[in-house]
Structure 1
């Protein structure tokens, strides 16, 4: 498919974090962009402000009249049901209809492509790498699965020759990519609704790894059963971060690479997992040839990602952090970072489980992760693309938790319950529509200070 011949791009599910990055990209390179989403959100509002036409009703009549078969690309999200009338309209008329991952594969095929894979850490690692490359003056476009605070966008740059993409294992999407340099940050069981078994996930990651011909260009953690260059924090590795300390709320550390020792790097994102993400990004940038001083400066100036340990309030007597964590490993990482930074404070966690299948598959691990917090408020499961499953609900999950202070809560009662709590550290966690409530929670807490 030749993207140069495409005049119009139509998105079904334009408000998704990955889809909206593509929408911004096509708008930036001069295409006419339009689309549908099920519900308005902060992201869709930002897209509309940028001049993209979006509607929220599944209606053929709302498709622009000049989006003809020969000049239009239609991009769909996996979350769209097969009964969707707009989708069927395009299929019946032989439009070019492609998944987001296929389109990313087409865009990146003729570029020097960095691909960041892993069940956790993809967004942070690719954001740091995109920021480093952009700051170095590289002709880069980075497609990010989160809003990068430095750019207030999920798109960094609109370069033609270098791309950074998240290699998403969901639906085996990452097998559409053509990576020149890649990393795998982690390989936990997830998306068992797609894969069935953890062995099947592992096989898929191996297949992705094999797409990188030169294994000197594939970076891994030391526990992965894949051939590549090992990166580690405080353990022997080809790229090793060590001498880690905290100064003024930031990590300061040294890195040993195959050719040099880099001293006193500074990086502001809390949590040991983020140190590893920064190290992976550094290793890929060094391999590409980015100067060390540029990398150091970019790590120092990186502000983080919206909904990734994102500080909403940071006052002496009140801290409010919001995080997208939706897997037990990610919740553990949030807890570790909070405890490291606020060791003597009472922590209130508000969690919205994401997907019935994920809640079912990891219920015991979720219960264990959540039980580490002092208090937990639990919202109903956010269904996303799924129908309810009998017996799988938040009450069932809460019954497995061992902490004394836990409570089921409705969205309507959430803010009053938070305000009545005496916790000095508050964390909202989850990948559902809880994120849409963050501005309201922040406002209420500030007014209550």
Structure 2
């Protein structure tokens, strides 16, 4: 097997994916020739093009593809991609073709790797760990599953001694990594199209935990049974590391962090949500064990700007609040809606939710219904299919889910009609939530609410 240094050309099939684009940026920053294909133009692909990466948006064998030499070209693809003529061409003509996870794993083999895993919370936690590494001036690179506001990117390079990676459980990708330090934030059932049941996904996380060598560090959310020694962390309950006394002071969230040595340190930041304090708790614990002092960590926490679409909050002169979030699992919805209800208990909440995947909607319909019943009013959008075909999920549709939600004020809407429906509603807090294309509503909503009297 060739090493990554043997290749000069890197072709990404599905380059617009959040994980794929981070890898593309890594090789582009390393001076390699990076090219790729994706099925549609997005903000992310446009950003890659502006960075000098050549991208096509039609599945065809271009002259540039024909001119690539199999001896010095590595082809990287995502398992979400179905069969394509481009991928067939590479497979049929002697190119080295690897999954994204394999390539990321090859990078982590050469570094002191900090890997953040979990069905929820891993993007915020990995981005925060990376931000704290930069604050501490550590020689690291990071590969994130979201756009970190501090980096304006899902990739950042400040050296290659340390890698901070979001360890993706989809397709068991995280088992390709070589973690020296690791975090497991949650092991809730998800991706049942891959794992089949909750017990199997829990075994997947135990297998990931076993990759962390003895003598290094494994941090696990208290209550998760991982089958080996680990340090625990929690919020509002005692653990090896925990935070409590969470309060909102103006626009700041303040909390007290308790270390395993019994020390208590005060932290303050602008990131709302109790679940985000939990993410901060393990990031602080890990970096402090890594040798970073609390003064640096306090400065880093205070300057962390969050992740695009992770509880992104806007306040307006009218008093209305708008929150946009990526949550697409019942546990994530509970965390977001629960935080809103905690900090704004007397405000009327309108939720606009776009389910993500027919399989996830089917597998967690009861959980989605229970989560969404906490809203005061609900607009439910069409299911975003991503890689799935509706004909394979007969009877699974948004109306089917809506019928299971015990809420007086609820209705279905297409994405195209949603903005007009929102403008007709009375609310104090608006939450748009989902992992599909619902993010296309946010710019219009912000512009409208800025003018709202």
The residue that corresponds to 2:254 in the other structure is: 252
Secondary structure at 1:400 match in 2: coil
The residue that corresponds to 2:68 in the other structure is: 67
Partners of 1:39 and 1:56 within 8 A in 2: yes
Change (3 A) 1:67 1:315: farther
The residue that corresponds to 2:81 in the other structure is: 80
Deviation, structure 1 residue 164: 0.4
> Aligned partners of 2:54, 2:431: CA distance in 1, in Å?
34
The residue that corresponds to 1:115 in the other structure is: 115
Partners of 1:134 and 1:157 within 8 A in 2: no
Deviation, structure 1 residue 260: 5.2
The residue that corresponds to 2:19 in the other structure is: 18
Unpaired segments ≥5 residues, structure 2? none
- Which string of whole-angstrom CA distances, capped at 9 and with x for unpartnered residues, describes residues 247-306 of structure 1? 223222222212351422113221111111001111111121112211111011001000
> Aligned partners of 2:312, 2:26: CA distance in 1, in Å?
25
Partners of 1:242 and 1:254 within 8 A in 2: yes
Change (3 A) 1:445 1:56: farther
Alignment of 1:20-419 (within 5 A): 20-61=21-62, 63-82=64-83, 84-214=84-214, 217-226=217-226, 227=228, 228-259=230-261, 261-388=263-390, 389-419=393-423
> Aligned partners of 1:217, 1:155: CA distance in 2, in Å?
24
Unpaired segments ≥5 residues, structure 1? none
- Which string of whole-angstrom CA distances, capped at 9 and with x for unpartnered residues, describes residues 126-152 of structure 1? 011000011111000011100001111
Partners of 1:143 and 1:154 within 8 A in 2: yes
- Which string of whole-angstrom CA distances, capped at 9 and with x for unpartnered residues, describes residues 279-334 of structure 1? 11111111211122111110110010001001245444221111000000001111
Indicate the larger mover: 249-258 or 403-412: 249-258
Confirm or deny that 1:438 pairs with 2:422.
no
> Aligned partners of 1:448, 1:38: CA distance in 2, in Å?
37
Partners of 1:219 and 1:280 within 8 A in 2: yes
Deviation, structure 1 residue 422: 1.6
Q: TM-score, normalised by structure 2?
A: 0.96
Partners of 1:251 and 1:268 within 8 A in 2: yes
> Aligned partners of 2:447, 2:72: CA distance in 1, in Å?
45
Partners of 2:138 and 2:158 within 8 A in 1: no
Partners of 1:134 and 1:156 within 8 A in 2: no
Partners of 1:252 and 1:266 within 8 A in 2: yes
Change (3 A) 1:68 1:201: same
> Aligned partners of 1:71, 1:211: CA distance in 2, in Å?
31
Partners of 1:268 and 1:300 within 8 A in 2: yes
Secondary structure at 1:275 match in 2: helix
> Aligned partners of 2:209, 2:199: CA distance in 1, in Å?
15
> Aligned partners of 1:202, 1:215: CA distance in 2, in Å?
23
Deviation, structure 1 residue 5: 2.1
> Aligned partners of 2:65, 2:55: CA distance in 1, in Å?
11
> Aligned partners of 2:22, 2:402: CA distance in 1, in Å?
36
Partners of 2:101 and 2:176 within 8 A in 1: yes
Secondary structure at 2:147 match in 1: strand
Secondary structure at 1:255 match in 2: strand
Q: TM-score, normalised by structure 1?
A: 0.97
Secondary structure at 2:403 match in 1: helix
> Aligned partners of 2:432, 2:42: CA distance in 1, in Å?
18
Secondary structure at 1:402 match in 2: coil
Indicate the larger mover: 135-144 or 253-262: 253-262
Change (3 A) 1:78 1:312: farther
> Aligned partners of 1:430, 1:436: CA distance in 2, in Å?
11
> Aligned partners of 2:348, 2:321: CA distance in 1, in Å?
11
Matched residues, number: 448
Partners of 2:180 and 2:216 within 8 A in 1: no
What is the RMSD computed on CA atoms of the aligned residues?
1.5
Secondary structure at 2:346 match in 1: coil
